[in-house]
Structure 1
Amino acid sequence: MTAMVANRSSHNLKNGINRTGELSEAQRETVGEVGKLVTAYVAFQMKRKGRFPSEKVKELLGDDSDETPRPEVSRVLHEVASKLEDDNAQLFGEMCDKLQITKTTVYATFVGVVRELFDTGINWGRIVALIAFAGALAIHCAKAGMETKVRKVIDWTARYVVWNLEDWIKNSGGWEGFQRHFHKHPSYSSLLLTAAGIIGVGLAVAFTCH
């Protein structure tokens, strides 16, 4: 089951990002696992094209930032999310600067974009877009003197996945389903293009709310 789930739990998706309360032990474990997957992606993008030296990446993300419990899934994620970013270089290159994100607005920006991204449903392309956006936002924070927000962005992303996307991911074959989906659909430009367009709308909404 990898097709779009249109209008599924739209209210919960919009409001779940602000959820509070204790995570169950299983949820904490999943947050940690997803967090490692996102951390490895952020580390990959920080090093990509010489954006940050390895020592700085370790300082920001830890010595084990490249480690992930799902190395093959991580490899596919790096490939697909990098394609999304490269095919939309202007969007990803300028979005955070245009929003003039500060320490006090970074969370609101994250919330606004993610709400828009999953407003009408879930698919693997949108999940890739979420992680790609989180990577771009984390890198912007690192460059803009908001280094303490880098790990925050990763944690927000992991918690959003657990609170709002975990059931869909499980029903779609888990992260192995993600891997299989992109192996079966090597020509995934339309899926990513749609996701990029939604990010653009989310950024526009976030901009109007600043």
Structure 2
Amino acid sequence: MEQEDALRGETEQLVTDYLEYCCRQEGCQERPPSTPAAATMRVVAKELRRSYQDFFECAKNQLVDRPPEQVLAEVAEMMDQDGFNWGRVAVLVVFAGAMLETEEQEKKERGQLRSEMSRRLAEELCRYLVEEKGAWLRENGGWTGFHHHFTQKQPPPQSDPNSTLCCIMAAAAGFGLVGLALLLAVR
């Protein structure tokens, strides 16, 4: 039980860090990442968002008349059908962040809605990752393992910057473009 509590705390910290990063106000200085794994998540997310921009744009359209945590749960279930890896973890967290970018009409209301949606998405992500994938996370080194998985694959600074992207995408490729296309059909 102590291991699960520690994993839950680390998961909440990482997920909250990333979702708050996604909700930050334009023009406001961003907060530094709360942990090395949170910093890694931001780097991986940036590359995923850049490389799969169309897919994450579609995430915004998945919320029509549906609770965001329900969409996230369906995506998590679909991703889990043929194995689990760090790339899928990253895609799931980044997908939640993309859902926070829905357009609302009033700016004041938008901040409140995004904050509430962020809280609900964080709860669902933590529930799924700790309760359903906790054993897998612990077997793979927890969030320290996540950090090491992506940072150990990074080439030395003098290498071609495109190979960094290749390493990140290769780790996420366990999800595959076919999986990304399937997720677009989730309704």
TM-score by length of 2: 0.75
Paired residues of 1:36 and 1:67 also in contact (CA < 8 A): no
Instruction: Report the Cα offset of residue 81 of structure 1.
Output: 1.7
Paired residues of 1:124 and 1:178 also in contact (CA < 8 A): yes
Q: Where does 1:7-22 land on structure 2 (aligned, <5 Å)?
A: none
Aligned to 1:203: 184
Q: Where does 1:1-210 land on structure 2 (aligned, <5 Å)?
A: 27-47=4-24, 52-54=26-28, 68=34, 71-97=35-61, 99-102=62-65, 104-140=66-102, 143-144=103-104, 145=110, 146-147=113-114, 148-186=116-154, 187-195=167-175, 197=177, 198-204=179-185, 206-207=186-187
Instruction: Report the Cα offset of residue 52 of structure 1.
Output: 3.6
- Amino acid in structure 2 at the alignment position of 1:84: L
- Residues matched between the structures, number: 166
- Amino acid in structure 1 at the alignment position of 2:168: Y
Structure 2, unpaired ranges of 5+? 105-109, 155-166
Structure 1, unpaired ranges of 5+? 1-23, 58-64
- Amino acid in structure 1 at the alignment position of 2:56: F
TM-score by length of 1: 0.67
Paired residues of 1:113 and 1:202 also in contact (CA < 8 A): yes
Q: Distance in 2 between matches of 1:52 and 1:32?
A: 28
CA RMSD of aligned residues (A): 2.6
Q: 1:100 to 1:183 in 2, by over 3 A?
A: closer
The sequence identity of aligned pairs, in percent, is: 22
Q: Which runs of 4 or more aligned residues in structure 1 lie more than 6 Å from their structure 2 counterparts after TM superposition?
A: none
Instruction: Report the Cα offset of residue 184 of structure 1.
Output: 2.2
